[in-house]
Structure 1
Amino acid sequence: MFEADIAGYLAEHIDDRIERRRLNGTNDRGDLTGLKVHGLRVVVECKNYGGRVEIKPWLDEAEIERGNDHADIALVVAKRRLTTKPGDQVVLMTIDDFVALVTGQRPGTGIEDRADD
């Protein structure tokens, strides 16, 4: 339900082609499809969690999905506690993804350029 709520909100406010993606099995390509910025494809991983924010594992998962989907940008939409409004949820992304979002160009060539900190 969380994924559908976020997809509906983004479809209403950005592009009506954004929708909840069907499950892909082992080669997951994110939870939402149809989001583009500057013509760049965006993978969205939604996290409806009940506890602690897991930034590194969530961003790592989104990055793998970005590669699986041959997308340019990966981001995580995480549910905030005590609110169900889609517009109140938070977005996590790496600086490389933020640069691509703002400029329309992704620094480097992708996964192989990332340091494993």
Structure 2
Amino acid sequence: MSRTRASAKKAGATFERAIADYLAARVDERIDRRVRNGVKDRGDISALRAPSGGRVVVECKDYGGRLLPAQWAGEAEIERGNDDALAGVVVAKRRGTRDPAQQWALMTLADLVAILTGERHPQ
């Protein structure tokens, strides 16, 4: 059976909820799914912060085809800019497991450095 737009949206919402709940239980209870906020998307998860306090944007992907890391990292970068956040991370569904802890976390090295140092360096 192929995915319809409705089934893809439902799968995406379920995946976002699982990731938000996992992060809230282990990082900060204020983390939650972000309410949609118009054309300036700011990611799927709210209230995630780096140790330095800078905001981290999370773009969740429960995809039906193949991994598209370059495209998704580009989306996360746009959302990071929209939110004036420190870094952007993509959390992508790992086929074969529903365990939130086993999903892929994808980011650029610049985003990893920003999270670790608390500073966004020019690229």
Aligned-residue CA RMSD (Å):
0.9
Normalized against structure 1, the TM-score is what? Answer: 0.90
Higher strand share: 1
Deviation (angstroms), 1:50: 2.1
* Structure 1 segment 89-100 matched on structure 2, within 5 A: 89-100=103-114
Q: Which residue of 2 aligns with 1:44?
A: 58
Aligned residues: 109
Structure 2 gaps, min length 5: 1-13
* Structure 1 segment 1-117 matched on structure 2, within 5 A: 1-37=14-50, 38-108=52-122, 113=123
Deviates more, 1:78-87 or 1:99-108: 99-108
Give % identity: 55
Distance 1:19 1:44 in 2: 11
2:86·2:118 contact (CA, 8 Å) conserved in 1?
no
Q: Which runs of 4+ in 1 moved over 6 A?
A: none
Distance 1:66 1:103 in 2: 17
1:40·1:72 contact (CA, 8 Å) conserved in 2?
yes
Structure 1 gaps, min length 5: none
1:40·1:71 contact (CA, 8 Å) conserved in 2?
yes
Deviation (angstroms), 1:103: 1.4
